[in-house]
Structure 1
Amino acid sequence: MTDQHQPDGWGSVPTVDSISGTRATSGPVPPGRPPRKLGRRALVGIVAGGAAVVLLLVAGVVGYSVGTTSHSADRPVRAFLDDLTAGRASAALAAAGIDHDDADLLLTDAAYAKARDRVTGYRIAATRDDGDTATVTAYLRQGGRDVSSTFTLDKTGTDWGLFPVWKLEAPRLGAVDVALRGPSGTKVSVGGQATTTSKDGTVTLTALPGTYDVVADGGKWYAADATKATVAGFGGTASSPVSMTTKLTPAGEQAAKAAVDGWVDGCVASTDAAPKGCSFYAYGEDSAYTYTNQKWTLDARPTVTVGDWVSNGWLVTTTTAGRATFTADIAGPGGVGTASAGPMNVNASGYIIGFTDSGATFRSAIGNGSSDTGS
């Protein structure tokens, strides 16, 4: 009898079970027989091992995702803006590394609390990572509208060699700019903080985003309409320059005219033929004669109007010129007698340059009769 194999090679070969009565433990499974089933313990072990691997993979993915999120470039920006929207100005400034000192009157919690149209919310619009630097664009909700602001961050290292560590560059703050048409040193309140104008009549205060009330205090002498200044977002943009024009109060106008009268009286009180700094004078003295009892007499006082502030002060204009006469006793080769000059115009045009507790200060625009005719 010869072996003849079926195409699969097993057709005429007896099974091990048929020969020895024992169960086969190895070798291919003959056609028609189910494969050997795993025991329950082995199956549980394989499933548990597979689940552990899956859990490790999931934990790794979740951990990496959390790490990436917590180290994203917008995180320092969010922390800064969170403090700002909560009104914690000092904390926000510290978080952003913004330098300031006592001269920055508006960069305090108390000052920021008085500002209107503050940042009440925000949304991150875009984040761009350029390797060692990143930029974050945010829209700040301010006074019912969105204001775009861009922040720059620097990479300072990594955590666990995987996640970048970002540091927010101090954003450039805006400023409240005030130009007052009035005396230098005028008291001004910006956002409830008291300061004074400089020599050129201006005030500039660094400020966080918001709207600040601006009030000038000229005491009883002059005043200006209250106004406001709005600083929008970040980037160093100043507020639209706030221009304030002062006007004299009734008490100020009365003091101004009294100052003009005082100046005229001072000129008239002079015993010089050409009083220094005055708008009238006499000339033609004869050196051969001696002049005594020289005096000026005011025949008519000039009338003036006080107008708006110009570069030198509140403009004083002579509406009707005054009249003054000069007289003196003379003695010389021709005998003794009395000399006189005038009457001549007294011009009191000039400027009210400021006020003290005692009143106004007047400065004449005309000296030594430069626009008058002496005789």
Structure 2
Amino acid sequence: MSELDASPTTSQTITRISILWGVALVLAIVAAIAAISAVKGASGPAQPVRAYLAALQAGDGARALGALRAQVPPGSAAMLDGAPLRDSMSRVQNLTVGEPKAAADGRQDVPVTFTSGGANYTSDFLVEQTGTDWLFFPQWSIVPAALPTVEATVVNSTRATLNGAAVNMPSGHNSFPVFYPGSYVGSLAGQYFAADPKSAVATQRNTQAHLALETKATPALTGAIEAKAKEFLDDCAKTASSKQQLQPACPFSFVTGNRIVDGSIAWGISDYPKASVTPYNGQWTVAPLAGKAHLTAQQIDLFTGRQSQLSVDRGFTFTMKMDVSGSTITLTPVIG
């Protein structure tokens, strides 16, 4: 084959190679643009906020604190890691990172919306540029600020439960630095004293949320007081009847100007007291117990000599001294 015969083939080969190089160049440019977009998105203002939220959901307090760069206020650190932190995030629903908005001094504000307990909330994260990636992509970090706190109180107790963890409550109060967004639920469980669950939601940095636990006597305690009162009153009525006393050493008595026939006095309790326990001056007191006693007897009118049936109800009140020592309750009726 001569050189003149080979020229068209060579020309076609060069053309094909040029086309292939052109296609490769276009693909390289597209890939570069995609890579640049990916790096830009990964290093955008919302990136540190997403990393922080991921750490919260994992219950990784150390990683979350590092991403937030926060100052930790004084108080108990019980809510800042592990199960209590995961419990907090279990009640944070519909977590959405919004579009960053320009703020002062070149910073950006990243809103995070969420729901908790059926209510809508927004947490704001201020971010700032702290460097660059690949020499020209901005690197963002959350602006340092103090963590919020949950200020918890509980009536007449030095302990409570917060997000499933047993916590100390010296003098009935404690301060808990917490992450945000977060939901914090406190309660107190006990045989004789308990507090229903109360919740607080932390939404912003450097704020305080308040959680007040209202400790009350349990039905087990009021039932024990009422049982003790019933036992005391029944014994009192029985003794007064056996001794034929109108003024026994009991909360109830009766005075009459008529003569009572011997052997006819019978006392009984017609209305037993309902117990109520209230806090007072750091202690627990039993409210005065009120009830009614019923007296039957045969009486003789001293002027006419006529005998008749006596049947009266006598209202009464008395108190119950209650001593609380750990899980032991001592009840002592007090008359007069």
Compute the displacement of 1:116 (Å): 7.3
Q: How far, CA to CA, are the matches of 1:228 and 1:193 in structure 2? A: 14
Equivalent of residue 229 in structure 1, options 178, 199, 202 = 199
Q: How far, CA to CA, are the matches of 2:224 and 2:214 in structure 1? A: 18
The amino acid across from 2:174 in the alignment is V
1:248-259 to structure 2, matched below 5 A, reads: 249-250=221-222
1:33 aligned partner: none
Q: How far, CA to CA, are the matches of 1:171 and 1:143 in structure 2? A: 27
1:83-94 to structure 2, matched below 5 A, reads: 83-94=55-66
2:176 aligned partner: 205
1:149 aligned partner: 123
2:164 aligned partner: 192
Secondary structure of 2:154's aligned partner: strand
2:69 aligned partner: 97
Compute the displacement of 1:73 (Å): 0.9
Q: 1:110 to 1:318 in 2, by over 3 A?
A: closer
2:233 aligned partner: none
Q: How far, CA to CA, are the matches of 1:151 and 1:106 in structure 2? A: 20
Compute the displacement of 1:150 (Å): 1.0
Q: 1:59 to 1:93 in 2, by over 3 A?
A: same
Compute the displacement of 1:193 (Å): 2.3
Aligned residues: 249
1:268 aligned partner: none
The amino acid across from 2:46 in the alignment is D
Q: Please, what is the CA RMSD of the aligned residues?
A: 4.5
- TM-score normalised by length of structure 2: 0.56
Equivalent of residue 54 in structure 1, options 4, 9, 26 = 26
Equivalent of residue 187 in structure 2, options 209, 214, 221 = 214
Compute the displacement of 1:78 (Å): 1.0
**Percent identity between the aligned chains?**
22
The amino acid across from 2:193 in the alignment is A
Tell me, yes or no, if the aligned pair for 1:126 and 1:136 is still in contact at 8 Å.
yes
Tell me the alpha carbon deviations over residues 206-261 of structure 1, each in whole angstroms, 9 at most, x when there is no partner. 334124241155x6xx513322323254435544532404338359969xx9xxxx
Secondary structure of 2:36's aligned partner: helix
1:328-347 to structure 2, matched below 5 A, reads: none
Q: How far, CA to CA, are the matches of 1:120 and 1:83 in structure 2? A: 16
Compute the displacement of 1:177 (Å): 3.5
Structure 1 gap ranges (5+): 1-37, 258-299, 321-347, 361-375
Tell me, yes or no, if the aligned pair for 1:71 and 1:164 is still in contact at 8 Å.
yes
1:118-129 to structure 2, matched below 5 A, reads: 118-129=91-102
Q: 1:175 to 1:204 in 2, by over 3 A?
A: same
Q: How far, CA to CA, are the matches of 1:246 and 1:311 in structure 2? A: 15
Compute the displacement of 1:179 (Å): 2.8
1:5 aligned partner: none
Q: 1:66 to 1:319 in 2, by over 3 A?
A: closer
Tell me, yes or no, if the aligned pair for 2:187 and 2:195 is still in contact at 8 Å.
no
Q: 1:45 to 1:216 in 2, by over 3 A?
A: closer
1:40 aligned partner: 12
The amino acid across from 1:97 in the alignment is R
1:286-297 to structure 2, matched below 5 A, reads: none
Tell me, yes or no, if the aligned pair for 1:151 and 1:171 is still in contact at 8 Å.
no
Q: How far, CA to CA, are the matches of 1:66 and 1:127 in structure 2? A: 17
Compute the displacement of 1:312 (Å): 5.5
2:107 aligned partner: 133
Secondary structure of 2:214's aligned partner: strand
Secondary structure of 2:170's aligned partner: coil
Equivalent of residue 153 in structure 2, options 179, 182, 187 = 179
Tell me, yes or no, if the aligned pair for 1:174 and 1:231 is still in contact at 8 Å.
no
Tell me, yes or no, if the aligned pair for 2:75 and 2:177 is still in contact at 8 Å.
no
Secondary structure of 2:129's aligned partner: strand
- TM-score normalised by length of structure 1: 0.51
Q: How far, CA to CA, are the matches of 1:318 and 1:108 in structure 2? A: 47
Secondary structure of 1:224's aligned partner: strand
Q: Which protein is richer in helix relative to its size? A: 2
Tell me the alpha carbon deviations over residues 128-169 of structure 1, each in whole angstroms, 9 at most, x when there is no partner. 245642221122354566532111122111123311111123
Flag the structure with larger Rg. 1
Q: How far, CA to CA, are the matches of 1:116 and 1:137 in structure 2? A: 17
